[in-house]
Amino acid sequence: MKDCSRVDIRDMLPSYEHGRLSAVDRDAVAAHLANCPDCVTELSLVRSAARALAGAPAVDLARIVAALPVPPRRREEGAIPIDSRRARSRPPRTAWASSRRLTAIAAVAVGAAGLSFAVGRSAPDRPDSALVAGSVTPVVGTVRAPASPAAASGLSSAADPGGLIVASAADAELSVAGGVSDLSDDALRSLLGDIERIDDVTVADPAEPLPAVTDLDEEGGA
């Protein structure tokens, strides 16, 4: 078998066979084949080789598909939404003096380093710096709840039916971090009530921008 001197045509014979040439190239090859028995022989050899080398056994497609990983979207959909997960895992309510609530109180009260409640309402004699220095990071996120009676001292929470309620250290020198044992019974009940209502609220994603601190005076807070 001789090799045609047109290497460019011989280069294209397999692509011609597989229909992968542009129209221009396909026509050029076809025109050459009409006058070149050596290229006709080589094209025939390409076809025979393709048949000869196509003798692989059939593979089990169903088995392969079954072994494939789950699509990314399906993996994401498999995640349990936070709300429903929290709803399912919420323990039954027990007496407010339960150890769980006491633990929650301690967590709220003590907090981590640098945690503080945003002061939603400033007492007249409190400067703006009553916004506790360093951070305005609500430990418990935002809460919607009806007003609770103001405590004689210590913590109070202001009602804001339309917006945010932020546990505030209103008048007292006492900071939440100071000592839960300093709270009156009424203040303690109020705090526990707020904590219970917090369970109903989706915890904000820390990555999301924090809600603005509202001026409760303007909104007629308690």
Partner 1 sequence: MTGESPHGEDAIDAALIERWRGGDERAASELVARHAPALARFAWNLGAREDVDDLVQDTLVRAFGSLDAFRGDSSLRTWLFTIERRLLLDRRRSERRHRETVGVGDQDVATEYDALDDVVAAETERRLREAVARLTPTQREVFSLRVTEGLSYKEIADVVGSTEGAARVHYHNAMRAVKESLT
For binding to partner 1 (CB under 8 A), which residues are involved? 1, 3, 7-8, 10-12, 14-15, 17-25, 28, 42, 45-46, 48-61, 63-65, 67-74, 77
| C-alpha to C-alpha distance for 121 and 135, rounded to whole angstroms | 16
CB of 33 to partner 1, least distance (A): 15
The smaller minimum CB distance to partner 1, of residues 34 and 65, is found at: 65
- Give the DSSP letter of residue 46: H
CB of 63 vs partner 1, minimal distance in Å: 7
Nearer of residues 2 and 88 to partner 1, judged by Cβ: 2
Task: Give the shortest CB-82-to-partner 1 separation in angstroms.
Answer: 21
By C-beta, is 18 or 100 nearer to partner 1? 18
Burial class (CB in 10 A: 0-12, 13-18, 19+), 153: middle
Is residue 117 a contact partner of residue 132, using CB atoms and an 8 Å limit? Answer: yes
Q: Which amino acid is at 70?
A: V
The radius of gyration computed from the CA coordinates of the chain, to the nearest angstrom, equals 38
Range 99-103, long-range pairs (CB < 8 A, 24+ positions): 101/192, 101/195, 101/196
Beta bridge partners of 155: 169
Q: Which is nearer to partner 1, 16 or 117 (CB)?
A: 16
How many CB atoms lie under 10 A from the CB of residue 136?
Answer: 16
Least distance (Å) between residue 37 CB and partner 1 = 14
In the bound state with partner 1, the residue whose beta carbon lies nearer, of 49 and 82, is 49
Of the candidates 156, 112, 162, which has an alpha carbon nearest to the alpha carbon of residue 137? 112
Q: How far is the CB of 205 from partner 1 (least distance, A)?
A: 24
Comparison of 38 and 219: residue with beta carbon closer to partner 1: 38
- Report angle CA 183, 186, 190 to the nearest 5 degrees: 90
